Structure 1
């Protein structure tokens, strides 16, 4: 069902149903519907401030055309979520930028998106845009809200939100805010309407149920959780920055039945629950995206959420949902219905079952390309198959994901999946948080190095015991040559370990050898 139609129907039939909350402040469906016209009036007035001369200084992406782009960089996730929710009913494209991203990356993302309006509570971002002679309108959150209060009742009623056309873009997402040049891609309403149907059928998104999605809205998993919940008439509780103690308290005190999170959230929640001797007894579903979920993490979380079904899935923000698992270590994933998979070699030839290659997907939610102002590289080729350059194998009709190209190493002539080693290592006690990298070697080309994140208050794992266990579970060429201990890992905003930075820290001598 179209997102805006659902919001309007719930607002009409049950206006007091909570749409958005952070556990303290709540915004109802009635609030979203009744305030939409005021938001549109404020946006129109801000667009009216931009002169023709200033517009000529904005670089518009070909794929967006003349649709107004509004960039949002706000401290509190509820403020960002409200703007995304109300503007979705109009001919606008919104882009959420994490306030913790470096200033230069946020500025670069704004410029490359063709944004005309930036809503922020970060004065340093505003100063950087002014110093860079960016020609759009910068408005602080307080001033934005003051303008909302000045909109008349007549103006509010003049432009009600409407169900928009399938092919119209409404969200602009950036792949990265902390490394390399960020690449932007568009999500059309059709593509995420397709995804909402997947969520209804497989991921237990239901009307009137409370979903908890901790983490910044700039992360595509959290942003999609917002869309799927509002698209199905549910309620979503958001947390600006994941805090395990606060998150565990919310799961105990609030009627949360569904969790949407990245794998790194699970061990932190489990540890917080065990520390306070509590369980998440209301939770019936935990939907975990972003990576394969190890058996150790799954089991640990199931101990504190005994009635929850833990479903891990693999997908790409540029493509959509691809495959899922509810058992074991999540290594073999079941493809979602309605898509086709192909694994190919570097020349584009289809590989036989079991062979490692580049994964291609055909599904109704896939995007076309990254926007022209960020390079315009294709996501979907002329043959209709899409890829984000992940490596995988097809085994018995299931998908075995091996990571990105940089997650494959060659040591002693053997091609080795670093992700596969990590999945196995995570099942060894004391090694639940780990990262495998390579170091150059004169004879072997590269050798494998496992870096293990220390657990506060727990003894370090013994190298001999870890090595022996991996020797039982993996081929000899997959067993790391060296082991190191790290206090903590560099991570993305979504909690993924940054392998490249771990390797740099290792070379800098930041870790302790076991």
Structure 2
């Protein structure tokens, strides 16, 4: 079961407690149950939900996964042609699935698929995979234990509900009987207001959001002492973001974790309020409850501690595979129940270290360099507020490492960047060219875009300025 039987339970036990709040509009547990139950009969066996953030989203999502139903959640920001293409594919899969449903607001069989997940994309058609109800129940149990979600927590996930991070946070809170909040759109001032006035105790967001909230919160004297949990996903937190978040929310345990939509949670670590952030490391903690991790080469053979390779996972939380878009490489199985999405890393003393996607890897003068590792090192250099690294074509080396930094107050020079990297990054991984950025190149979901950074350089965008080599 994912969460519908739990909604029924909370509505019976605590009917007038708050369940969901979106931009100030509130649904208690009884209202959520009754409104979702009223639309189940009109909800198709396989449907596509394309809605902006609203309480209606929560109602329709609950109805769309009732019984044996399946639901695909589309991003309303995607182009209309892309949305139409996906809806057509979803309807085609509905005809193939022939799912039997009834009109009750209750969970379907544990092993049945309920969610059609879509990898993020803006131009090409996203891959679609399915998740079983049991896999999400296993995920709920693991994340509630790992992150310490409590009934009295108030969770704010200020990003789009169409994004898997926020959709999961909504469903996790419904399962746990804990209040969930979001906004119509991400706005720093609105998040600060919710933290100040709505008793928010728990934040779920991506690193760029945390950086903005922390820095502007410190400048504006926004009190975040009541926040006791911060959960970040999307990329490993750099030292500057951790430092700002620690000062802004002094009582929070700051969690970062590694996972993938197809794999669910893999590994994570929590930085308690009393602990000082480490500088420039790639470690992302130990495996989640119920998860086994090993590193393998491309042939599937296990690698020793410290040897980089494919991160391979065995757990009950892994997805069921793809409905469309499977190229044989995106989710690969080894020994039947071990899976990898091709992310690269290594194990050291039981801790997983993340190097990044193979597709992001820079091959320079015969050496493999992962931009993520370069960015973490640069972000630890004094004078750097944020960083991005990428590979540019090079006639001699194949590719050369280039980096862009958003300077902190006072600015920074190429010489200072080179000096700052000497003790924390191997020589063959250091950038050969540096650029000053007016802002980080990010996607509409707040993730750093290396391709956009390279585009800015090639088009001489005004937001990028060469610092030399």
Question: Would you call these one fold, judging by a TM-score over 0.5?
Answer: yes
TM-superposed deviation, 1:468: 0.7
Query: What is the deviation of 1:380?
Result: 5.0
Larger radius of gyration: 1
Match of 2:67 among 73, 82, 90: 90
C-alpha spacing 1:267/1:429, structure 2 compared with 1 (3 Å): farther
Say if 2:47 and 2:90, in contact at 8 Å, map to a contact too.
no
Residue 176 of structure 2, aligned match among 232, 238, 245: 232
CA 376–41 in structure 1, closer or farther in 2 if over 3 Å, else same? farther
8 Å Cα contact 1:324/1:336 also seen in 2: yes
Distance across 1 between alignment mates of 2:366 and 2:16: 63
Report the equivalent of 1:165: 109
C-alpha separation between the residues in 1 aligned to 2:144 and 2:126?
31
Structure 2 CA distance for aligned equivalents of residues 342 and 490 of structure 1: 33
Paired with 1:502 and 1:104, the residues of 2 have a C-alpha distance of: 27
Note the aligned Cα RMSD (angstroms). 2.1
> 1:453 and 1:69, CA in 2 relative to 1: closer, same or farther beyond 3 A?
farther
2:190 corresponding residue in structure 1 = 246
Return the TM-score normalized by structure 2: 0.90
- Offset at residue 441 of structure 1 (A): 2.0
Report if aligned partners of 1:168, 1:188 keep a CA contact under 8 Å in 2: yes
| Counterpart in the other structure of 2:89 | 112
Partner of 2:433: 482
Is 1:70 the counterpart of 2:47? The answer is yes
Retained in 1: the 8 A contact 2:23–2:184?
Answer: no
| Contact kept in structure 2, 1:454 and 1:488, CA below 8 Å | no
Deviation at 1:179, TM superposition (A): 4.0
Distance in 2 (CA, whole Å) between partners of 1:482 and 1:418 is 14
CA contact (8 A) 1:289 1:314 kept: yes
Q: Which stretch shows the higher mean deviation, 290-299 or 490-499?
A: 490-499
Is 1:343 the counterpart of 2:295? The answer is: yes
Q: Give the deviation of 1:494 after TM superposition.
A: 3.2
**Mind listing any 5+ residue stretches in structure 2 that lack a counterpart?**
95-101, 272-276
Report the more deviating stretch, 159-168 or 360-369: 159-168
C-alpha change, 1:17 and 1:492, in structure 2 (3 Å) is same
The match for 2:126 among 171, 182, 191 is 182
Matches within 5 A, 1:10-409: 10-43=10-43, 68-114=45-91, 159-327=103-271, 328-329=277-278, 331-332=282-283, 333-371=285-323, 373-375=324-326, 377=328, 379-381=331-333, 383-409=336-362
Deviation at 1:463, TM superposition (A): 1.9
2:52/2:161 contact within 8 Å kept: no
- What secondary structure is seen at the aligned counterpart in 1 of 2:217? helix
TM-score normalised over the length of structure 1: 0.83
Determine which of 417, 422, 429 is the counterpart of 1:466: 417
User: Are 2:332 and 2:341, in contact at CA under 8 Å, matched by a contact in 1?
Assistant: no
Native 8 Å contact 1:248 1:272 kept in 2: no
Q: CA deviation at 1:376?
A: 7.0
By how many angstroms is 1:326 displaced?
2.3
Q: Secondary structure at the match of 2:445?
A: coil
Is the contact made by 1:338 and 1:363 (CA closer than 8 Å) also made in structure 2? yes
The DSSP-based 3-state class of the residue aligned with 2:58 is: helix
What residue is the counterpart of 1:58 in the other structure?
Answer: none
Cα distance in 2 between the residues matched to 1:288 and 1:440: 33
| Number of aligned positions between the proteins | 448
- Distance across 2 between alignment mates of 1:346 and 1:106: 35
In the alignment, is the contact (CA less than 8 A) between 2:35 and 2:59 conserved in 1? no
